Structure 1
């Protein structure tokens, strides 16, 4: 995970240099600077720094993966990689109910938003518990 940590570290360093330059370029205009873009760049810098710190300290406590070792062979990475879920219809229903809630809220049809909330709770329960029953139960 050290490679991933250094990618985020490089992005953090890049953003540390870019953010003040962006502020200086936009403050040269008559409007006094772009607060929105500068705030977004500052928060992006802090987020990449947070991920870098987490990955850096976590990578030091883990055994190196085959990708992280210079002496690793291709066969070292063989084997099961994890659980990959099969197809699922629940994300579609969750997205449709979210769309129904947003549509009802935008048009101030609160009854439609409430119906979407109830259907959203059902679809969320189906999404969370889909591997506890049925064809793909564990």
Structure 2
């Protein structure tokens, strides 16, 4: 995946240059979009490169001779009982619906988004489930 993102970033950068030269640098919207696409590809490729360097050796899922039991174990911490993502998603849905209906609904959704986001971020900060 890392290689694909490097290729995508290079392709988008090359197309941005060709687009700019062909349009005599007069049309900025396409140029900005292609440049942002190139930066996005390079950003993801860079992140994947840094993450790959932190891992030692070949991961078990990439080993062609690997067994299923090689990848047994913990994969991280997952919250099995959190209701905050539901409230955050509902609040965001109200906000985005407000873009179509009216700005008052965006304000109402933002009023609920902020406590839902804070609650989700600080869910394990204090209380019985603190980490």
Does the alignment reach a TM-score above 0.5?
yes
Aligned equivalent of 1:129: 122
1:15 Cα shift?
1.8
TM-score normalized by structure 1? 0.60
Q: Which has the higher contact order (CA 8 A, sep 6+)?
A: 1
Pairwise CA RMSD? 3.8
Structure 2 stretches lacking a partner, 5+ long: none
1:78 aligns with 2:82: no
1:10 to 7, 22, 25: 7
* Cα distance per residue 1:11-48 (max 9 Å; x no partner): 223323333344466x29xxx75421221111221221
Aligned equivalent of 1:52: 45
Q: Indicate if the aligned counterparts of 1:24 and 1:33 stay in contact, CA closer than 8 A.
A: no
CA distance in 2, matches of 1:56, 1:72: 23
Q: Indicate if the aligned counterparts of 1:8 and 1:51 stay in contact, CA closer than 8 A.
A: yes
- Aligned 1:1-138 pairs, distance under 5 A: 4-23=1-20, 27=23, 34-64=27-57, 65-86=59-80, 88-97=82-91, 99=94, 103=98, 113=107, 119-131=112-124, 132-133=126-127, 137=129
Structure 1 stretches lacking a partner, 5+ long: none
